[in-house]
């Protein structure tokens, strides 16, 4: 059977960066073909070339066996190629209908096209179960539905090949499952799907064939049924990757961080952290598990000096702090040797429009090592940045580059390097691997364990239960602002999951007995 899409020797460079090197790819008709690779491997560039957003420097594109020249998106659309971008290409202030017909209006006046689109939407709903209110404004729709509009847009234009670029990055697990069901339906109707992702689980769950990209090249193509997560991970990164964390037993020392009866209210006056007490010893990692929004973020921010608690004390080393009455700001907490890797690196961890070296000392700019009075010691700062880049394998290794131009994993490494290298005695880490690819995850986990072994007290907050269980020495579960239970990481996922869902400690423990029986 003629393949739906065939790429031959595609090359594309951006300045000195060779984003796509001699790409050969065959996508079978009516299949779901995955393209996996780390951030920056060239997946999105390749798909943008196929969609006509960029033009390849050399190489051929074949659609249904015929060589075509896709110079712009219009051509791609007319060849039946549709794309759902990672960042949705929707006009937020427009209705669903207006977004659907934009660029496919069918005549100078809108009324005819609108009526046609309305009928067509009803048909697409009937055929694929893609229901959406045509008159709803995009900005009022949840992300999952916005993505559905993107899919509908492509189908409305007669797409036979649908490219999805990291479609699940913005979706909740339930929404992602729903999306996969939709893709299955599309496949059963003979459509071809190209799924770009860096998540192994998705590849295994839904694709028929998978191509692995690394540094601009396709390094392997496999039938999904004949490969494994381990093999794909190795192909992606170029070396063996441990999908589990390799760590020895903790040797906890004296408590370094002690939290007693901490209560925090948010800006609206709602109590978000309720009378929380725990301690973290030197040389141990304490993980806080919980569904996002149960007070973990606020707890972390309070300990970092960003929020002022309502009551309670925090002890760091031997110093007792009554933060409610004598607040210490973020710089003050840093001075007390508390490092903080914020949950959201874009909002709190970095100034993405700054150069890398500037972010490498952000928050420590008054340190005498980097500043003399009001003047920065740029030479020393750049030296520090270079050292961290080398040690943390931050790529590209250029301290002058704007931070926004680094991939997510490398941005996270910049933040981690900054906080870890200041040698704090307490390290607060929020979502260390959110949006980070697996090669970098392995590296980050290793660094965190090393830090523990060096005798630091580490408090880890993550919504990834897997991460909490594999890194932590003890797991605290937060629900509705309270710590509802403490478990060893070896406790079953089900038991911790029950605690996270608000089941009380005793009942959760009983579930274990139930399991055993």
Partner 1 sequence: MFDIFFSYPTFDSMARLATPLLFACLAGLYSERSGVVDIGLEGKMLGAAFGAASVAFLTANAWLGLLAGIVVAVSLSLLHGFASITNRGNQIVSGVAINFLAAGLTALLGQAWFGQGGRTPSLPAGGRFLEITLPFAEEMASVPFIGRFYAEFLSGHSILVYGAFLAVPLTWWVLFRTRFGLRLRAVGESPAAVDTAGISVTFLRYRAVIICGILCGFAGAYLAIAQSSGFIKDMTAGKGFIALAALIFAKWKPVNAMLACLLFGYLDAVAIRMQGQSIPGIGEVPVQVFQALPYVLTVILLAGFIGKAIPPKASGIPYLKERT
Q: Do 478 and 264 contact (CB within 8 A), yes or no?
A: no
3-class SS at 139? helix
**Nearer Cβ to partner 1 (100/475):** 100
| H-run or E-run covering 187 | helix 173-188
**Nearer Cβ to partner 1 (437/473):** 437
Q: Which residues of 490-506 are buried (b: 16+ CB within 10 A; e: fewer)?
A: ebeeebbbbbbeebeee
Least gap, CB of 82 to partner 1 (angstroms): 10
**Nearer Cβ to partner 1 (54/357):** 54
Least gap, CB of 155 to partner 1 (angstroms): 14
**Strand bridging mode 474-479 / 17-27:** unpaired
The rounded distance, in Å, linking the Cα atoms of 238 and 222 is 16
**Nearer Cβ to partner 1 (178/402):** 402
The rounded distance, in Å, linking the Cα atoms of 513 and 507 is 10
Site of interaction with partner 1 (CB under 8 A): 14, 44-45, 48, 51-54, 72-77, 83, 85-87, 89-94, 98-99, 101-105, 107-111, 113
Least gap, CB of 385 to partner 1 (angstroms): 23
Least gap, CB of 48 to partner 1 (angstroms): 7
The rounded distance, in Å, linking the Cα atoms of 330 and 307 is 9
Q: Do 256 and 425 contact (CB within 8 A), yes or no?
A: yes
**Nearer Cβ to partner 1 (14/133):** 14
The rounded distance, in Å, linking the Cα atoms of 451 and 459 is 12
Least gap, CB of 359 to partner 1 (angstroms): 20
**Nearer Cβ to partner 1 (111/513):** 111
**Strand bridging mode 375-376 / 81-84:** unpaired
Least gap, CB of 13 to partner 1 (angstroms): 12
Nearest to 101 by CA among 84, 86, 121: 121
Q: Do 263 and 273 contact (CB within 8 A), yes or no?
A: yes
Q: How many residues does the chain have?
A: 517
Place of tokens 């064939």: 209
The rounded distance, in Å, linking the Cα atoms of 154 and 100 is 8
- For 416, half-sphere exposure in the C-beta direction (CA atoms, 13 angstrom radius) is 31
Least gap, CB of 86 to partner 1 (angstroms): 7
**CA distances (Å), origin 240, targets 41, 232, 243, 408:** 17, 10, 9, 21
**Nearer Cβ to partner 1 (54/443):** 54
The rounded distance, in Å, linking the Cα atoms of 175 and 320 is 45
**Nearer Cβ to partner 1 (110/371):** 110
Q: Other CB atoms closer than 10 Å to residue 293's CB: what's the count? A: 11
Least gap, CB of 171 to partner 1 (angstroms): 19
**Nearer Cβ to partner 1 (73/511):** 73
Q: Do 364 and 423 contact (CB within 8 A), yes or no?
A: no
Least gap, CB of 104 to partner 1 (angstroms): 7
The rounded distance, in Å, linking the Cα atoms of 160 and 334 is 55
Place of tokens 């740029």: 378
Q: Do 287 and 472 contact (CB within 8 A), yes or no?
A: yes
**Strand bridging mode 66-68 / 284-289:** unpaired
Least gap, CB of 292 to partner 1 (angstroms): 27
Least gap, CB of 513 to partner 1 (angstroms): 51
Least gap, CB of 46 to partner 1 (angstroms): 11
The rounded distance, in Å, linking the Cα atoms of 381 and 306 is 25
**Nearer Cβ to partner 1 (100/451):** 100
> Beta partners for 193?
32, 162
Q: Give me 241's structure tokens.
A: 């990757």
**Nearer Cβ to partner 1 (87/326):** 87
Give the DSSP letter of residue 20: E
Least gap, CB of 91 to partner 1 (angstroms): 5
The rounded distance, in Å, linking the Cα atoms of 82 and 78 is 9
The rounded distance, in Å, linking the Cα atoms of 330 and 303 is 9
**Nearer Cβ to partner 1 (14/253):** 14
Least gap, CB of 73 to partner 1 (angstroms): 4
**Nearer Cβ to partner 1 (110/324):** 110
């Amino acid at each position: 059977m003629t393949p739906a899409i065939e790429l031959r020797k595609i090359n594309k460079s951006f300045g000195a960066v060779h984003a796509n090197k001699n790409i050969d790819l065959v996508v079978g008709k009516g299949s779901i073909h995955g393209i996996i690779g780390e951030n920056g491997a060239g997946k999105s560039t390749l798909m943008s070339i196929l969609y006509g957003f960029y033009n390849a420097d050399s190489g051929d594109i074949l659609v249904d066996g015929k060589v075509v020249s896709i110079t712009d998106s219009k051509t791609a659309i007319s060849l039946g190629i549709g794309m759902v971008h990672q960042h949705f290409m929707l006009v937020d202030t427009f209705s669903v209908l207006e977004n659907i017909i934009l660029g496919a209006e069918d005549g100078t006046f809108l009324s005819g096209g609108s009526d046609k689109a309305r009928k067509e939407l009803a048909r697409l709903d009937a055929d694929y179960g893609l229901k959406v209110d045509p008159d709803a404004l995009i900005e009022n729709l949840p992300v999952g539905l916005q993505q559905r509009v993107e899919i509908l847009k492509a189908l409305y234009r007669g797409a036979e090949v649908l490219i999805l670029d990291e479609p699940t990055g913005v979706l909740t697990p339930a929404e992602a499952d729903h999306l996969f069901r939709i893709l299955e339906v599309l496949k059963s109707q003979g459509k071809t799907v190209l799924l770009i992702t860096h998540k192994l689980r998705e590849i295994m769950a839904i694709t028929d064939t998978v191509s692995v990209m690394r540094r601009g090249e396709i390094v392997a193509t496999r039938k999904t049924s004949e490969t494994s997560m381990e093999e794909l991970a190795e192909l992606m990164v170029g070396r063996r990757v441990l999908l589990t964390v390799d760590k020895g037993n903790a040797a906890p020392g004296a408590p370094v961080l002690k939290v007693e009866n901490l209560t925090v209210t948010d800006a609206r006056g709602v109590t978000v952290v309720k009378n929380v007490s725990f301690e973290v010893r030197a040389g141990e990692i304490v993980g806080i598990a919980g569904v996002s929004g149960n007070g973990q973020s606020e707890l972390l921010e309070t300990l970092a000096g960003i929020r002022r608690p309502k009551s309670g004390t925090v002890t760091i080393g031997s110093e007792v702090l009554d933060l409610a009455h004598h607040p210490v700001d973020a710089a003050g907490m840093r001075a007390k040797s508390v490092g903080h890797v914020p949950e959201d690196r874009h909002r709190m961890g970095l100034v993405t429009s700054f150069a890398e070296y500037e972010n490498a000392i952000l928050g420590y700019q008054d340190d005498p090592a980097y500043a003399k009075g009001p003047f920065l010691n740029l030479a020393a700062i750049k030296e520090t940045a270079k050292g961290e880049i080398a040690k943390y394998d931050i790529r590209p290794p250029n301290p002058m580059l704007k931070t926004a131009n680094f991939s997510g994993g490398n941005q996270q490494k910049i933040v981690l390097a900054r906080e870890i290298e200041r040698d704090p005695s307490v390290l607060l880490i929020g979502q260390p691997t959110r949006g980070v690819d697996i090669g970098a995850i392995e590296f980050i986990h290793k660094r965190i364990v090393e830090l523990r072994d060096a005798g630091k007290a580490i408090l880890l907050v993550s919504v990834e239960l897997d991460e909490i269980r594999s890194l932590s020495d003890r797991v605290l579960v937060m629900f509705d602002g309270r710590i509802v239970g403490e478990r060893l990481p070896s406790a079953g996922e089900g038991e911790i999951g029950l605690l996270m869902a608000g089941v009380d400690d005793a009942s959760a423990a009983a579930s274990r007995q139930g399991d055993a029986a």
